[in-house]
Structure 1
């Protein structure tokens, strides 16, 4: 399983990358336009290449595990959706949209992949990529519906299925199942872009943090959501995983991914669809900072128990 000394080294590396992103944002090296460009590159190029690269080295014996972890992920997403419907009914609609979305969608798509790859290697990354399929589907459907009513469900589903990360998953699965020899220049290109994922995502998170006055982020609402996202939900998933007959790697990947902080897209959608973007940004920042402590703690817990 995970090497704890390697985990702490990786946390330190990621912290410095995030700090670099914050500094570059403060001094104007990473502008809002540059952040938008970095976001598009990360979603459309770096993460997809990282996923395909993982599948190129995947073991065929993992197919059953992949199907199993996708089912687990779907169940977790449904449970989080129900929880979000129950908890925030009395809140102001603009705040409720942010809180519901934050409950359903974590930052696993950005932060989860590099974290899992660093802790559990390529096998862990393959499982993480599959786990994130339902997460991304929920992001484009019920997640989006938190901010704006979905009028055409077919268009929303089509948009989800044509997302670059979902397409890269299908490509990766095909290349794993059908042993087609790829040209060396193509695999080297994919692997090169793949290695850019971690620094790009950490710089992006740092740039987002750099836009916020850290003195204003701590309040009752942001603490409540951070506690829910980083402690309560992972604890519930961990308790269930203890009783399921699953492989230790699958259990560890599931718990660590579900323990990720609030998704950066929470603020992007709030800004676009007249949600409480200020609250969304503060929730993202506080949960991300606190996750630097909680993620290693959950990693140690799953290492000890699975």
Structure 2
């Protein structure tokens, strides 16, 4: 296994501990953390995405892989939505929505970029951005409906997903890439510098969220154990089998399986609170899957990359 990948995962975990420490010491409160989350989602992450297009050399093969990732990510999310629909039929209504949400959506936005970057270089950031297009479209449409435990279409949420800053950044970066636009050196350097804040900032934010977890209650929730097994083991396995059956190439399999093996999406707790689902289950699940990802992610990388 590539030691750089293992070091990257361990470094992310140490950054997470910094967030927990900052919260415990009252350096950052929930209001400040909400501001940091907005800073990341609306500024640093979009700039990281744009920077990946700026620094990437034009290659038809990279574009072809990107197209495949877009298509296969769409298929995988449809499969996972159907799987979650039947897997949690007996879960009570208050917890059914968050169970579906954390099964379908991974923390690819926060943890995916630095991990794929360590494996595939700047191409990895590009691949993660393509994956994020589908993830965001599903998260802000199906994800919201699941948390609300409602049926029917959600065109309003789908439109909201389409104007997500990360998707806009992907479109901008794509045009820069295709048209071979050369940005002034100072602007490109600034984009790179601010974008590089994404990884440490994202893990510190997650750490701050996890600092409120009551460890004594953490190991009493049977549902959290089930969700953790599903998220870290069953979902990557389903993804791998489906992609193999579809004859996806090795790079596509590696990218998508690794991203699906990421911990639960870190905004699951915030969105579950906002839309009336069980945020306590979300926080516990985020904590356990994030800790266990130190073992799971390097193992998955060794098996599929």
User: TM-score band (shorter)?
Assistant: over 0.9
Confirm or deny: 8 A CA contact 1:51 1:126 kept in the other structure: yes
Per the alignment, residue 122 of structure 1 pairs with: 122
Mind listing any 5+ residue stretches in structure 2 that lack a counterpart?
Answer: none
Aligned residues: 301
Per the alignment, residue 192 of structure 2 pairs with: 191
Aligned partners of 1:101 and 1:152: how far apart in 2? 17
Residues 114-152 of structure 1, C-alpha deviations (whole Å, 9 max, x = no match): 111122211122111101111110000000101234787
Per the alignment, residue 59 of structure 2 pairs with: 60
**TM-score normalised according to structure 1 size:** 0.94
Residues 183-202 of structure 1, C-alpha deviations (whole Å, 9 max, x = no match): 11211111011110110011
Per the alignment, residue 38 of structure 1 pairs with: 36
How does 1:1-306 map onto structure 2 within 5 Å?
4-58=2-56, 59-61=58-60, 62-148=62-148, 149=150, 153-218=154-219, 219-303=221-305
* Root-mean-square deviation (Å): 1.6
User: Using a 3 Å threshold, how does the CA distance of structure 1 residues 156 and 213 change in structure 2: closer, same or farther?
Assistant: same
Look up the SS of the partner of 1:106 in the other structure. coil
Confirm or deny: 8 A CA contact 1:73 1:132 kept in the other structure: no
Aligned partners of 2:157 and 2:104: how far apart in 1? 17
Moved over 6 A (4+): none
Confirm or deny: 8 A CA contact 2:270 2:279 kept in the other structure: yes
Aligned partners of 1:175 and 1:187: how far apart in 2? 12
Confirm or deny: 8 A CA contact 2:102 2:265 kept in the other structure: yes
Confirm or deny: 8 A CA contact 1:60 1:177 kept in the other structure: no
Confirm or deny: 8 A CA contact 2:24 2:211 kept in the other structure: yes
